[in-house]
Structure 1
Amino acid sequence: MSDAFAAYVAPIALAVLFAFLIAWSVVRIAIAYAHRRGMLDQPGQRRSHTIPTPRGGGIGIVVAILLTIPVSLCERSSPWPVHVVIALMLATSMIAAIGWWDDHRSLPALPRFGVQLLAVALFFASLIAGGPSWLWLPLWVLGGTWSVNLHNFMDGIDGLLAQQGIFVATGLTVLAWAIGQPALAGASACVAASCVGFWYYNRPPARIFMGDVGSGTIGLLIFGLTAMVWRIDWLAVWPALILSSAFVTDASLTLLIRIVRGRRWYTAHREHLYQWIVRRGHTHAVSAAWYLGWNVLVAAPMAALAFEKPRMGLMACIVTYAVAAVVWIFAKHRLVQRDRYKVRYVHT
């Protein structure tokens, strides 16, 4: 390894290492803090765990990100504008703060949604300033706000959201490096490393849950990093979106069905596919393995195809989400039907 290359990579590698160590350390402290403050998620009909478990462990991810991502994005070979870095960190802090507050004392939906919209709008306004048309802003703001909430919806069993964060952020790291953006690659790698630090305590059986402070932050960062990839190379957005196909499909279809059936979509429930897998008697680890299997066997190869053949990127993205929807519908139908059969069998 040449001295020039070592000097080029060393700051990013150091930031990634620190991201893991900071997250790991802060989550350990958060466990004791949650017990002391009584921040425990109790088992219930609409929950998938069976014992009281601390929440708010996502604060470790937040602290790690706030301390390491700015270092990565300011890496001298491909630095991002200072106003973009500041806006991203400010938006992250806003999402984390409202989530941390909600983890301590439940907040109404409207204030949380308002802060989310403001934070997302702030970041994307900085991202497109002096570049693409401002007509992109409403689309990105809606998408970013949905990402914040869908990752919150998908944080319901041990290890799942942390696992997804590791996968998507790692994929974005490879993608950013491939389009010549080592600073963005380093930032994405810091997100992945911080998720690994949290996952150590959240893997089944979980010692602590992420809470809104972490799930909202991951949702913002995954969408934000995807948008930053788009800002550099718009064709690379298709493989970036493919990486998130498992969570986007599950959360979107579940929400759509609940709305169509006239249910209060914003209330707690156990209707996501991963929750149905657990309801059928499988462990949290098995449910998470379903999503890992999709990511490794479908999302990763399709993302690679979309990147290697840019003209096919949009079609690859459409096909991936179409297949994901078919798989979701089929799997959900089988799980629900088996549950109904089990209930009828017990009653007879």
Structure 2
Amino acid sequence: MTFTFYLVITTALFGTELLYLQVAERFRIVDKPNERSSHTAQTIRGGGVLFWIAALGAFIYTQFAFPYFFLGLTLAAAISFLDDLYTLPNRYRIGVQFVAVALLLRETGVWPTEPWVWLIVLVVGVGTLNAYNFMDGINGITAFYSLVTVGTLWYWQVRQPVLAADSLFAFVLASVLVFTYFNARRKAVCFAGDVGSVSIAVIILYMLYQFIIVHQTYLPILLLAVYGVDSVLTILHRLYLGQNIFQAHRLHLFQLLVHRLQWPHLRVSALYALLQLGINAMVLAAVNWSTAAQLGLAGLILLTLSVSYCVLKLRLMSAALVAKQNVAVHP
């Protein structure tokens, strides 16, 4: 692929996004603020449909090289877009996501023989899709984090090719760049929506599966370490509080940084992306290490992230409690 080809892809996707924005505005496809939202004004929703469109372009360009993956992606994107429009019951959305992850596994050509392994892989895959979706709560976070993750995987692909259809990286990264232009602003032009966050999560999961299989290591999972720690520990916190984990909320650490410390959205988004970029650099350096050394690195990274999450969250929650007590004493 030449620079001219990349430029053509990016220009075409930019025009496609502009067209979607016009259609969405015409049919009032907007994001209505709720308990999870960090914005107050209605903004166009579903701009992340561009990620699916980019995958479609790569699918056609490679002469339909990854049919099962693309079918799974399409199913996940379709149910997510319907959820953006109508708010579907969780059982429909999650059921389709299980099918999508199963199709990803079929595409890789590696199918677990033991039923319990098969079930674990499916559950972890669906959990990853939903975690990526849950983290899409402030301007720029999906854009920056996806740029870092897809960019790292593409760099890895160039060094040690894994996917035969490597044009998928170019198409998808171009779509994330275009989406970043519209989303990573103080006042976003559009949000990714469930269709966007789930679609890019499916794409990244497919790429990660391939790298895990080829390199025979689970180290690539750490390319989602920052999102993973925030998501898992927040879910555990909400379960401890007796909350419904599928309902909107503002208990993610990134949400507390925005609402309690009043940090700008883009600062928090950049912090998450840069932190993940540093971890990605360590993963690339350690991919050929011994299994014991890789496990040690993974443990150190996850422990550091977890302790940092707990300390920061406790301080933010304690400060909020003190502030509330002061208000009660001195109304």
Q: TM-score, normalised by structure 2?
A: 0.90
1:25–1:334 Cα change, 3 Å? farther
Separation of aligned partners in 1, 2:133 and 2:211: 23
**Which amino acid is 1:46 matched to?**
R
1:142 Cα offset (Å) = 1.5
Separation of aligned partners in 2, 1:20 and 1:60: 11
Separation of aligned partners in 2, 1:16 and 1:314: 38
For residue 225 of structure 1, the aligned residue among 200, 207, 224 is: 207
1:133 Cα offset (Å) = 4.2
1:63 Cα offset (Å) = 0.5
Which residue is 2:181 aligned to? 200
Which residue is 1:190 aligned to? 171
1:141–1:300 Cα change, 3 Å? same
Which residue is 2:143 aligned to? 162
For residue 326 of structure 1, the aligned residue among 304, 307, 312 is: 307
1:26 aligns with 2:6: no
SS at match of 2:287: helix
**Which amino acid is 1:127 matched to?**
T
1:15–1:215 Cα change, 3 Å? farther
Which residue is 1:245 aligned to? 225
Mean CA deviation greater in 286-295 or 299-308 = 299-308
Deviation readout 1:109-160 (Å, 9 max, x if unpaired): 111111111111122133235x764654323222221111111101111010
Which residue is 2:275 aligned to? 294
Separation of aligned partners in 2, 1:14 and 1:144: 36
1:191–1:321 Cα change, 3 Å? farther
**Which amino acid is 1:27 matched to?**
E
Separation of aligned partners in 2, 1:180 and 1:282: 40
Q: What pairs up with 1:8-87 in 2 under 5 angstroms?
A: 9-10=1-2, 16-69=6-59, 71=61, 82=65, 85-87=66-68
Extract unaligned runs of 5+ from structure 1.
1-8, 75-80
1:45 Cα offset (Å) = 4.1
1:132–1:177 Cα change, 3 Å? farther
1:96 aligns with 2:77: yes
- Identity between Structure 1 and Structure 2 (%): 27
Aligned residues of 1:173 and 1:186 also touching (Cα < 8 A): no
Aligned residues of 2:47 and 2:191 also touching (Cα < 8 A): yes
Aligned residues of 2:135 and 2:142 also touching (Cα < 8 A): yes
Which residue is 2:250 aligned to? 270
1:55 Cα offset (Å) = 0.3
Separation of aligned partners in 2, 1:180 and 1:52: 43
1:216 aligns with 2:206: no
Separation of aligned partners in 2, 1:249 and 1:114: 24
Aligned length: 325
Separation of aligned partners in 2, 1:117 and 1:241: 19
1:230 Cα offset (Å) = 1.7
Which residue is 1:338 aligned to? 319
Aligned residues of 2:258 and 2:265 also touching (Cα < 8 A): yes
Deviation readout 1:18-75 (Å, 9 max, x if unpaired): 5533432222222222222122223344321021111010111211121125635x7x
Which residue is 1:256 aligned to? 236
Aligned residues of 1:154 and 1:251 also touching (Cα < 8 A): yes
Deviation readout 1:166-191 (Å, 9 max, x if unpaired): 11111111222332336455423432
1:275–1:23 Cα change, 3 Å? farther
| RMSD over aligned Cα atoms | 2.3
Aligned residues of 2:49 and 2:196 also touching (Cα < 8 A): yes
Which residue is 2:100 aligned to? 119
Extract unaligned runs of 5+ from structure 2.
none
**Which amino acid is 1:180 matched to?**
P
Deviation readout 1:211-240 (Å, 9 max, x if unpaired): 1111111111111110011222213x40x2
Which residue is 1:5 aligned to? none
SS at match of 1:157: coil
Mean CA deviation greater in 191-200 or 150-159 = 191-200
SS at match of 1:138: helix
1:309 aligns with 2:299: no
**Which amino acid is 1:160 matched to?**
I
1:17–1:256 Cα change, 3 Å? farther
